[in-house]
Amino acid sequence: MNIAAYCRVSTDSADQLNSLDAQKRFFAEYCAKTGETLARMYADEGISGTKVRNRREFLKMMEDAERGLFELVVVKDISRFARNTVDLLQNIRRLKTLGIETLFLTANMTSMGSSEFVLTIFGALAQEESANTSKRVKFGKRVNAEKGRVPNIVYGYDKTAGDFFNLRVNEAEAALVRRIFALYTDEGHGAFKIAALLNESDSRTKRGNRWSQNAVCRVLTNELYSGLVVNGKQEVADFLTGQRVKRDAADWMVHERPDLRIVEPEVFERVQEIKRSRGQTFKVNGGRHSNKHLFSTLIKCSECGWSFRRTLRTYKNTYVRWVCSGHNERGAASCQNAVTLDEDEMIGVLQTYFVKLLGRKENTAAHMVRELERLYRAKGGDTGYERELCVNLERLRRSRQKYMDMYADDLITRDELNERIGASRGKIAHLEGELHMLAHRQAKYEHLQSMLRDTFRGPEDIIDVRRMTNAQIKSIVQKIEVDRHGGVDIFLRPLN
């Protein structure tokens, strides 16, 4: 008789793989004793038994059963076949319809010779064992999260062999992380463009793969790079399906780890602001972020709201012009704005506009410096206020950590923990927000002062628009609106 043997281990650790080898040897010895012909052995490595769809070898075995390659399936234990009662019964029934029997050697049970009731009982026991394992794993993860222990593999960090709860900064990778943040904030690139730039320089991810848009996004949104270990954002709602649900931010477990900081918190927050802004822009009017050309997504049509697009003509002479995307793609019935803007003329208009705006530069510079100082002081730019915020924040954090340690040592219950630290969560978030705002204002204040010094050195030093990048011009100009009669309005970005 041709038989098929199936074996499975749920992780790919060395011990479990040794167990898989032992199962394979067991079936080889079994066939030698019984004289059966082993048509094929199917083995899934590092795969959970709760979901059939992830078990490639199991699915291959069921396909081969349809083709009649064997008459018997031999499994050492019911839990190796499935830890989901429904999957167990469905697949055994499917094999039965094909005339194929399933033999579970440990229980000395066959699918055709034993009642389905007995199989259901054994399958339910296997499923309950998996449920208990899931609970133990979830509990262990929760304890580790409450103690601020770190994730396993993160780009920019290394783990010491044998130390599963700590990371150390990998300086070479950390430099690339800082470059990713700079490309996003300073040069205005999106995640797709950044991934392309990294791949052009032959950079690879932690696992040696090419960079993707999703991989770059994971870097840009990981709080660990700002020195925060955040655990408990999601939890498994159903261990059988693996479905995960998001938890409320108030229930996240956050620990400060300045030793793991690669980028400053204000830089990380700036990235999140940019991401939210770009997402909101796309959600509201379908506008996509782009910095490919000098005026990309900067020139807007006042008739339909769409951005102008760049067109290049090379007939006899080269012409670079900008036209309304709505009119160009959907026709005059959708948008009547048929205005064509010459790029050289637009650059000249902006150059003249900036020169006019910066006329009488000495008085303008003095006035702007005084106004900046007034606004900065009015919005809390005071070191005394900052010290007061830091003292209050540190006091609340120490109190919160004390109760977290008490809970980790089983001195108080979860309800008591929530009762004691519940009120402090909002206060901590408020103080952290105030400090972030102060840091942001201070950085902007210093940046603007530097810009003023550089801008008002003399007429010969006025900025050349042609040498600006899309990100630089967007930091000054909010948008350029063009109506169907050729009127052009330039809106500067407010300094707030």
**What digits encode the pLDDT tens for the residues 263-287?**
998 889 888 888 887 666 544 444 4
Question: Who contacts 441 (Cβ-Cβ below 8 Å, separation ≥6)?
Answer: 376, 379, 380, 381
% of the chain at pLDDT higher than 70: 66
Q: Would the pLDDT of 12 be above 80? A: no
pLDDT at 331: 85
List the single range of 24-38, 189-203, 270-284, 305-319 with lowest mean pLDDT: 270-284
CA atoms within 13 A on the CB side of 185: 17
Looking at residue 13, what is its pLDDT? 46
Is 110 in contact with 40 (CB distance < 8 Å)? no
Q: The whole model's pTM is what?
A: 0.41
Q: pLDDT tens digits for 359-402?
A: 545 455 555 556 556 655 554 445 566 778 788 888 888 888 88
Active-site option among 10, 130, 226, 296: 10
pLDDT tops 60 at residue 453: no
Catalytic annotation present for 201: no
Which CATH architecture describes the domain 2-142?
3-Layer(aba) Sandwich (3.40)
Does the pLDDT value for residue 187 go beyond 80?
no
CATH code for residues 147-285 = 3.90.1750.20
Q: Which residue type does 260 have? A: L
Query: Is pLDDT at 328 greater than 80 in this prediction?
Result: yes
Lowest model confidence (mean pLDDT) among 134-138, 163-167, 376-380, 409-413? 376-380
Range from 145-154, 338-347, 416-425 carrying the lowest mean pLDDT: 145-154
Any long-range contacts for 228-231 (C-beta under 8 Å, 24+ apart)? 228/254, 228/255, 228/256, 228/257, 229/148, 229/149, 229/150, 229/254, 229/255, 229/256, 229/257, 229/260, 230/254, 231/141, 231/144, 231/145, 231/146, 231/148, 231/149
Q: Which pLDDT does position 466 carry in this prediction? A: 78
Report which secondary-structure segment, H or E, holds 341.
strand 340-342
Which candidate, 332, 273, 275, 347, places its Cα nearest to that of 301? 332
Tens digit of each residue's pLDDT (9 = 90 or more) over 217-246: 989 988 889 988 877 666 665 545 556 667
